[in-house]
Amino acid sequence: MGKRNPRPPTNATPTTGTTAPCPQTVRFVTPGGDPVRSPNSTQGADGQNEFTFSTANQGVLTMNLKARVEPAGCAPAMRDRVLFSVDAIGASTMTWATANPNGRPTINGDFLEAVVTFTGLPERNTDFGAKVARLMLDGAVHETKNYEVFFARDATNHPGGQAGSPNWYHYWGQVVNVGTTSYAGSSGSPTMARVLGMVDWSYETAPDKTTLYIYDEVVTDARAYGVGNQVSGIDNFVSTLYHESRHVDQISRADTLVPNVRCWQYGYSWNKPHNHWAPGPDGLWGPPPGTATASVATAPPFEPGGGDDASIDHPSWVHWPNVWPLPNPIRIFHPIEEDAVLYADARVSEGDFADHDWGDPGKNHMTLLKYND
């Protein structure tokens, strides 16, 4: 009898037939890292975790999702078991690439990849910010990664709102409600905002006393009149809104101090020869003492004041009613502005509104709390 072949070891790898299954090892590459501590905003780069809508008319955000399969050579065996999933961005339209229906990946060497796009910026500021990507394996969540979504700060492609206004105005304006605002382009000066009823008061026409006109210059690092809180970006924007809203309040309160007749018909004046008078002891307007109201000028500027008429201004400060307490301290040229600075400072310090800033550049983009990167 001839010798029989020895029985092969039970742990031997067959040389024919099916290959042993690959281990279930698949891990995110993109998004990757921590968008707060290790931000990566390079479009299409491995590990990208900050994504910004483009400046195109509708705005498009593209995410190149990527996962590594180990050991090498196992990607084909894993492909049909894996799906990518990402959060919605408000009402922005989400579309998976043709090759990636519902997040199904394609194979690129030892990687699984998929591309998803969002078209059209969302309406709300709260639609941006922190999001979660999910790597699904056999229908269950296998791994998650955090990432952040931004709008191009200085572009003008937001939906709705004031046409032609920049994205920062549209989205930051949703953070606080201080009344009516309007974007007014560049002031061409250090002026960041104004209320026309304060700076353009007239005897001839009724001024706009309630709208806060906001200029491009507000997107900066500033200190109101050199004495207010040092604030930048969104914090300076919000602080400026509060500052100007205080002027609206000043106008409204001062208007109650003068009668609604002739030279007072548009209220307490601010930037013109003033109508800050009350009738004297005889109850009539001067000049001269005791002259009837009808004798006051019938053409602009309609300015009364004379005889026994009494000024309603503080004796030391024109344009500050004497029935109002003075702000404390007065560090700048007039209590009107000091009052507004103190009002804003009590409500906003640097960083207070950083969590709401999803502009690129902005305080959550790249360097945390830096408004311009």
- pLDDT tens per residue, range 260-306: 666 678 889 998 877 888 777 767 665 544 445 545 555 555 555 66
Q: What is the DSSP letter of 80?
A: G
Q: Are residues 229 and 321 in the same domain?
A: yes
Q: Quick one: pLDDT at residue 196? A: 96
Tokens of 21: 């299954």
Tally of structural domains, the chain: 2
Residue 17 maps to a domain: no
Considering the chain, what percentage of its residues have pLDDT values greater than 70?
86
Q: How far apart are CA 363 and CA 150, in angstroms?
A: 11
* pLDDT per position as a tens digit, 108-156: 999 999 999 999 999 999 999 999 999 999 999 999 999 999 999 999 9
* pLDDT per position as a tens digit, 24-51: 699 999 999 999 999 999 999 999 999 9
Q: Quick one: pLDDT at residue 311? A: 86
Residue 363 maps to a domain: no
Residue-wise burial string across 99-132, b where 16 or more C-beta atoms lie within 10 A, e elsewhere: ebeebbbeeeeebbbbbbebbbbbbebebbbebe
Q: Are residues 144 and 245 in the same domain?
A: no
What is the domain range of residue 30?
A: 25-152
**What residues contact 35, with CB distance under 8 A and at least 6 apart?**
49, 50, 130, 146, 147, 148
Q: Are residues 258 and 326 in the same domain?
A: yes
Residue 67 maps to a domain: yes
Q: Are residues 148 and 196 in the same domain?
A: no
Residue 75 maps to a domain: yes
Q: Are residues 196 and 327 in the same domain?
A: yes
Residue 162 maps to a domain: no
Q: Are residues 31 and 76 in the same domain?
A: yes
Which of 152, 186, 210 marks a domain boundary?
A: 152
Q: Are residues 215 and 338 in the same domain?
A: yes
Q: Are residues 107 and 230 in the same domain?
A: no
Residue 296 maps to a domain: no
